[in-house]
Amino acid sequence: MNTQDLVKPIARSTPSKIVLMVLDGLGGLPDPRTGKSELETARKPNLDKLAAEGVCGLSVPVGYGITPGSAPGHTALFGYDPITVNIGRGVLEAVGIDFPLQHGDVLARGNFCTVDDKGNITDRRAGRVATEINVKLCQMLSTKIGDVQVICTPVKEHRFVVCFRGINLSPDVTESDPQTVGVPALEITALHPVAEKMAEVANKFSDFAKKTLAAQHPANMALLRGFSQKPHLPSMEEIYKLKPAAIATYPMYRGLARLVGMEILKTGTTIEDEVATLRENWDKFDFFFFHVKKLDAAGEDGDFARKVQGIEEIDRSIPGIMALKPDVLVVTGDHSTPAMLKGHSWHPVPTLLHGQYCRPDTVMAFNESDCLRGGLGIFPATNIMPLALANALKLSKYGA
C-alpha cells in the first residue's frame, strides 16, 4: 500500500508547524585528498546541534542505484510515490517558468537547433543562441494549427516550452528530437490511437517551424521532446490536512510545489530573503517547504569549495528558523549532487528530524557517515512526510 493511502485516513489538522527544509543536492562524496565530504568539511555548528538533538538517517529518493531528476526527488519528499507519479519534461519546463497550465494542455520541451541544407541536424542547441533571439523566435512560432492553439514560451538560450492547447490531445507520442546530430528531426508518431491528433498537430508544427525559421540560421529548426500533461495529484491539503506553503528562489521548485497544491510565497533571491518570507508568513500556514538551490548548483559545477561555503551559509540561517520554534524541522535533500560527480547521483541523502518527540540517537554531526548510524536508518524518502506529521502529532492511531 502507498504511504499516502495509509496516512490519509489518520491525518488530522492541528496548530503545530512543520518546516521541510530541502537543501537541493545535499549529499556528497569525499574529496580524495582529504577523505572528507562537503558536509564533513563545512563548519556548521547549528546543523550539528540539530543533528545531536534530533534523529538522523539517510533517505533514498527513488531506489538503490537510482539517480533522481528534480521531479521524482521532490515528489518523494512530498510523500508521493516517485515511480507512479510521472512528471514529464515538458510539464517540468513549463512549471519552471511559471507557465499557467490549463487542464488538457500538452507540453513539450523545445530546443532551437541548426540543420544543414539537407535538413540534418548539425547543432542540437543552435550554438546556445541568445535568449533575446529565443524570445523573438517564440513569437514567430506561436500559431494555431486546426483548432489547436500552439503557445511557444522562451526559457533560456536555445530552450523553450511548447504548449498545445485544444481538445482531445494526448501526450502519448514519440519525440522529434533524435538527441544526436547528423540526422534529420524525427517524425512524431502516436503511441496509442488516442494520440493520433496530437502526433498530426506536432508534425505540422515541425513543418511550420522549419519553414518559419528557415532564414534564422543558426536557429533554423526546432526539436520537441518530453510531451506530457499535468499529472492529476491529490493535494497535500487533501491527503495530510495541511495548509502548505512553498518558499523557493527558483521557479521550477515553486512549480513542483504548485502541482501538489501548495501556496507559493513571494520571496527574494537569498537564503535570508527566504527566512524573512518564512517569518512573515509563519502564522498563516502549518507546513512550509523551504527550498535552497545553491548546493546543487555548486555540486553540478564540480565546485567542492563553493558547496562547502553554501553549507556554511545555510548553517548561519538556522538560528533564524529555530527562533520561530517549529514543532518539527526536517533538513534533507531531494538527491545527492557530489562535486566529484558534477551531477545528481544515486547516493542516499543525509536527513535530520528535529522535534520534541523524536527519539534521539547518538549522531552528533550532520553528514553522510554519521547519519548512517542514525535512528532513522537508510529509508525511502517517501517516509519523511509521515515521520514529520507523526512528530508534529498530526497523525492519529492506525487501526483498532
| Residues contributing to the site for its own copies (CB under 8 A) | 1, 3, 6-7, 10, 29-30, 37, 62-73, 82-84, 86-89, 91-92, 226, 340-341, 343-347, 357, 359-362, 368-369, 372-373, 375-379, 383, 385-391, 395-400
CA dihedral 363, 368, 373, 377 (to 10 degrees): 110
Least distance in angstroms from the C-beta of 29 to its own copies: 6
Task: Write out the three cell numbers for 332.
Answer: 534533507
Least distance in angstroms from the C-beta of 385 to its own copies: 8
Q: Which is nearer to its own copies, 245 or 385 (CB)?
A: 385
Q: Which is nearer to its own copies, 145 or 191 (CB)?
A: 191
Q: Which is nearer to its own copies, 311 or 395 (CB)?
A: 395
Using CA of residue 248, residue 244, residue 259, residue 139, what is the dihedral sign? negative
Least distance in angstroms from the C-beta of 387 to its own copies: 4
Q: How many residues comprise the chain?
A: 400
Q: Which is nearer to its own copies, 17 or 197 (CB)?
A: 17
Least distance in angstroms from the C-beta of 77 to its own copies: 13
β-strands 143-145, 148-156: how paired?
Answer: antiparallel
CA distance 144 to 194: 21
Q: Which is nearer to its own copies, 29 or 222 (CB)?
A: 29
Q: Which is nearer to its own copies, 88 or 310 (CB)?
A: 88
Q: What amino acid is encoded at 164 in this protein?
A: F
Long-range contacts, stretch 65-73, CB < 8 angstroms, 24+ apart? 65/346, 66/346, 67/335, 67/343, 67/344, 67/345, 67/346, 68/334, 68/335, 68/344, 69/344, 70/24, 70/252, 70/253, 70/256, 70/334, 70/335, 71/256, 73/333, 73/334, 73/335, 73/344, 73/381
Q: Which is nearer to its own copies, 1 or 167 (CB)?
A: 1
Least distance in angstroms from the C-beta of 63 to its own copies: 6
Least distance in angstroms from the C-beta of 87 to its own copies: 6
CA distance 204 to 142: 13
CA distance 211 to 207: 6
β-strands 349-355, 159-165: how paired?
Answer: unpaired
Least distance in angstroms from the C-beta of 398 to its own copies: 5
Using CA of residue 40, residue 366, residue 20, residue 398, what is the dihedral sign? positive
